[in-house]
Amino acid sequence: MTYKKLTDPFTEKESTNTILRKTDNAVIPFDDANTDYIEYKAWLDAGNTPEDA
């Protein structure tokens, strides 16, 4: 599993509330109730870092 930071299309700056899961091109919102985000946080906690946008 790998992740990549996103650029917000409206602000054209790095998104502060979404991340891309590269395996299936899924955009995951930063919501503690979202199970994909919970999985992403565990991935970060394991010492991983996402690719830059």
Partner 1 sequence: MSQLNVNAIRSANGTGDAISLAAASNTCTANITNNLSNRNLVINGAMTISQRSVSTAWAANGYLTCDRWNHTINNSAGRFTSKQTADGPDGFRRCLELDVTTADTSIAANEHALIQYKWEGQDVQQLAKGTAGAKKFTLSFYVKGNGNATYMCEFYDRTNDRLTRQQFSVTSSWTRVTLTFNNETSNGTINDDNSHELDMSIWLHAGSDFTSGTYTANTWAAKTNANRAVGISSLFSSTDNYFKITGVQVEVGDYATDFEHRSYGDELAKSQRYYYKNPSNMYLTKYGSGSICNVFNPVTMRANPTITQGSGFSISQISPYSFYIYKSSGDSGVAENGYEVSAEL
Question: CA 17, CA 10: separation in Å to the nearest integer?
Answer: 13
Considering only residues 33 to 52 of the shown chain, the ones binding partner 1 according to CB under 8 A are 33-36
Q: How far is the CB of 39 from partner 1 (least distance, A)?
A: 10
Of residues 6 through 35, those in contact with partner 1 by CB under 8 A are: 6-10, 15, 17-18, 21, 24-29, 31, 33-35
Residue listed under structure tokens 């930063």: 30
Other C-beta atoms closer than 10 Å to the C-beta of 22 total 13
- Give CA–CA dist 7/4, Å, rounded: 10
Q: What are the residues binding partner 1 (CB under 8 A)?
A: 6-10, 15, 17-18, 21, 24-29, 31, 33-36
